[in-house]
Amino acid sequence: MPLDFIKNLASLLSQYNLSEIDYQSQDFKVLLKKEPPSLSSCSTENSSSLMNHRPTESLQTSSPTDRHFVLSPLIGTFYRAIEPGAAPFAQEGQKVSQGDPIGLIEAMKVLTLVYAPCDGIIQSFLADNGEMVEFEGKIAEIRKSK
């Protein structure tokens, strides 16, 4: 499945203000959902609760309210790119806008895009490529733009 195909589907979500696209072929199924960010998809935490996360310079230098986490909308396998060898949706240090795709989760051969819940810069990915993630597990940290 080419990355351009998935990007085109994702752009259709925004262009026509759709909340969901479900595409099926003989080889694969893609389900794209776009939901407004909520407390379940964009959370802030104080520094005392960050002990279980990979340490990064941004965790030590930014104020707690600047840190937002992309949370998994479901249980599945997190991927940073549409297929092995393809360019990732987003990189650490990249500026993202609310609603930009940053990865995807595969569950039972259904692909669900994961979107940035707020404007900012991706500080780090907390889930590795190919790693299983839990519902509302932390996928990435975003430092909110001011």
- Select the more confidently predicted residue: 120 or 15: 120
Confidence label for 41 from pLDDT (cuts 50, 70 and 90): very low
Distance (Å, whole) CA 109 – CA 130: 14
Here the CATH number for the domain that contains residue 89 is 2.40.50.100
More confident residue, 113 or 50: 113
Contact 77, 131 (CB under 8 A): yes
DSSP 100: -
Angle of CA points 14, 18, 21, to nearest 5°: 105
Q: Which helix (H) or strand (E) holds 13?
A: helix 3-15
What is the count of structural domains for the chain?
1
What pLDDT score does 10 carry?
Answer: 78
Q: How far apart are CA 130 and CA 144, in angstroms?
A: 26
Its pTM stands at: 0.59
pLDDT at 40: 37
Q: Would you call 21 helix, strand, or coil by DSSP?
A: strand
pLDDT reported for residue 46: 36
Q: Is the pLDDT of residue 32 over 60?
A: yes
* pLDDT tens digit sequence for 48-79: 322 232 333 323 333 456 888 999 999 999 99
The separation between CA 55 and the C-alpha centre of its own chain, rounded to angstroms, equals 20
> In this structure, what are the phi and psi dihedrals at residue 9, rounded to the nearest 5 degrees?
-60, -45
Instruction: Please give the residue range of the domain that contains residue 60.
Output: 3-144
Tell me the average pLDDT of the chain.
76
